[in-house]
Structure 1
Amino acid sequence: MIIDLPSTTTSNVNKKLVELRESGGAVALGRVLTLVIVTSDGSEVEQAVQAANDASREHPCRVIVVASGARQAAPRLDAQIRIGGDAGASEVVVLRLYGPLADEGAGAVVPLLLPDAPVVAYWPGQAPEIPAKDPIGALSHRRITDAAAEPNPIAALHKRVKSYVAGDTDLAWTRLTSWRAMLSSAMDLPPHEAVTAATVRGAADSPSTDLLAAWLADCLNVEVLREDHPREGSGIYSAVLERPSGNIEIVRPDGKVGSLTQPGQPDRRIALQRREIRDCLSEELRRLDPDEIYEATLGGLHRISRAADRPEAETDAEQPAEQEGGEAGKGKKS
């Protein structure tokens, strides 16, 4: 069921929510948290609401969508309430703010927050410079951003390092859960040797590739090389852990199925489908405490080295000049 409330107030929205609950015969409100989605784009609203609806089947919640409209318009609040099949296991309130109200999202959200329930803020697109200092971010126990959705994902990721406050997280980190699990389980198998170096390869615009490299650098305390894969938007391509007896290597060429190779074990095909936003959001809503591993990984971003920053490999030009058939420039690393 979808109820439109044009040119309304938050008081009227609250009254309508109570009325709908009572008419539906619900005595208690079985919601575990309030999820506030902050966006300004029309198509982005529907995508974010759909992801929240899917996540709500695991975490029943009240979803409040704050969508900023034209700031040149007259001040107006248009609301929409979605319950039942149109809201998954949650109740969705979409607030469209126009004119001077477009910058007053926090004021519109506060009257609609569930009492004594945690608040999670989620920016599916471009996030504030410092999420914790944003008016809605300041209300929240957890703040979820998505560097991959920003115009410049890598620059956005490095902003997260400077702006991090306990309770922050990013879906670029959540997308790594399967990779981290596979690499950890592979290292648990014999031979139990220390990793001496690692290489992570992925798209140049993939923040998850940078985070995987930083996680390995922090956990293993080794040098990690981050290489670019030629296809943008393809995410992580491979991860290689070097050990004396042979390398552990995971390669995912198609973004769906990977192959795991390691000494003394048969090669294995593993499911490494790129995770949907709804799955990442569900995972992040499972915990409301600070993610210390994510914090440490952000701190490890400065430890990774990039192929473009390394000195060129030894070439024939660096060898004695008088070499028959020798040609300067051959033998460089790609």
Structure 2
Amino acid sequence: MKIDLTETTASKVNKALVEGRRAVGTPAVGMVLTLVIVTDEENAYDALRAANEASREHPSRTLVVVKRVSRSPRSRATARLDAEIRVGTDAGSGETVVLRMYGEVLHHAQSVVLPLLLPDAPVVVWWPVNAPLDPAKDPLGALGQRRVTDSYAAEQPIAELTSRAAAYSPGDTDLSWSRITPWRSMLAAALDQVPSRVKGAEVEGEEFNPSCELLAMWLAERLDVPVTRSVSSGPGLTAVRMQTDHGDIVLDRPDGSLATLCMEGQPDRAVALKRRETSELLAEELRRLDPDDTYAATLKYGVDRLVTPAPEKAADAGGSGTGSEDAAEEAGKPAAATKKAPAKKAASK
């Protein structure tokens, strides 16, 4: 069931929600949280679809805040709120309210959202794109116990990680961090099988992919070893290699779907490690609403502390003084500032 309201108010939206539930016989009980999605019109459809799929695991009230900026000076000065209410089968396993805001209402979005929150239920705020620099201090972000961003959607993903570290507050999280959960689980399980000391590691993946940097920082922070960040053609993360006292542990996924785990003294094993949809990542983040201390420690480790392989040209020019100096200078640069590294050469080391 869908109900459209134009030039409305938050109280009228709340009243329409109650009437809609009565009409379809859907009670409000059973919803476990309020999910606030802050997006633009272009990305609203995909974000809402992901939220509806995630609601099968986490029934929730979904409030989609769409900020509409008009080009007309007269329209920008006119405050207006339009709402689209969905209940029943049109709203997944919960209920959905799409709020389109115009004019002065844009600057007071939290005042519209606050009366629509489920009472005595946690609030999660998600920015699929264009997340604020400090989500915890954002007026809408301040309403949530959990704030979800996605650094992969930023124009400069690696620089975004540095900004997230500087402005981190307990409750912040990133879908780029959720993307590496299967990798972290698999690597931790592999280390449990090999009682040996890790001496170093290498993470290989697409250039400017924040998940690769986060995995490298996680390994460096947890194992206290130097970690090299090398670049491949993708898709996404392609390989992790850990050097131990008893040989290398290699988790290689060249096609973005099926990985191979190689360990010294054991047969190679095929591992399902497919790239997950946004709805699966969002559902994972909604399973826990307490601060993620591991993510905080990883984020604060710093991208600039990762090791980056020297470019091939600089390495070949090692016989001359200038080439050696260039190679040393380039090797000291952070991963975000270095051009594409020779992944195949790094892999053979």
TM-score, with length taken from structure 2: 0.87
The answer to whether structure 1 residue 43 and structure 2 residue 42 are counterparts is yes
Could you tell me which residue of structure 2 aligns to residue 199 of structure 1?
202
Could you tell me which residue of structure 2 aligns to residue 155 of structure 1?
159
Could you tell me which residue of structure 2 aligns to residue 328 of structure 1?
none
Measured on the aligned residues, the alpha-carbon RMSD in Å equals: 2.2
Could you tell me which residue of structure 2 aligns to residue 103 of structure 1?
107
* 1:43 Cα deviation after fit: 3.2
Q: In the alignment, residue 21 of structure 2 is paired with which amino acid?
A: R
2:24 and 2:88 in contact (8 A); partners too: no
* 1:230 Cα deviation after fit: 3.5
* 1:25 Cα deviation after fit: 3.4
Q: In the alignment, residue 204 of structure 2 is paired with which amino acid?
A: R
Aligned to 2:305, which of 303, 306, 314? 303
Could you tell me which residue of structure 1 aligns to residue 30 of structure 2?
30
CA distance in 1, matches of 2:156, 2:264: 39
Could you tell me which residue of structure 2 aligns to residue 324 of structure 1?
none
* 1:29 Cα deviation after fit: 2.3
CA distance in 1, matches of 2:79, 2:318: 70
> Identity of aligned pairs, percent?
49
Q: In the alignment, residue 317 of structure 1 is paired with which amino acid?
A: G
Find the residue that maps to 1:242 and give its secondary structure: strand
Could you tell me which residue of structure 2 aligns to residue 260 of structure 1?
261
Q: How many residues align?
A: 319
- The structure richer in helix per residue is 2
Could you tell me which residue of structure 2 aligns to residue 215 of structure 1?
218
CA distance in 1, matches of 2:63, 2:300: 32
* 1:310 Cα deviation after fit: 11
The answer to whether structure 1 residue 290 and structure 2 residue 291 are counterparts is yes
* 1:213 Cα deviation after fit: 0.1
Cα–Cα, structure 1 residues 101 and 247, in superposed 2: closer, same or farther, change >3 Å? Answer: same
1:7 and 1:76 in contact (8 A); partners too: yes
Spell out the pairing of 1:4-153 with structure 2 (5 A cutoff): 4-40=4-40, 42-71=41-70, 72=72, 73=75, 74-153=78-157
Find the residue that maps to 2:52 and give its secondary structure: helix
Stretch moving more, 98-107 or 234-243: 98-107
CA distance in 1, matches of 2:160, 2:277: 20
Find the residue that maps to 1:185 and give its secondary structure: helix
Q: Deviations over 1:39-93 (max 9, x none)?
A: 11x2311111111111111111100000000244232111001112221101000
Could you tell me which residue of structure 2 aligns to residue 325 of structure 1?
none
CA distance in 1, matches of 2:265, 2:222: 24
* 1:229 Cα deviation after fit: 1.4
The answer to whether structure 1 residue 187 and structure 2 residue 188 are counterparts is no
Q: Deviations over 1:126-173 (max 9, x none)?
A: 100100000001111000000011121111121111110000000000
Could you tell me which residue of structure 1 aligns to residue 331 of structure 2?
none
CA distance in 2, matches of 1:20, 1:179: 43
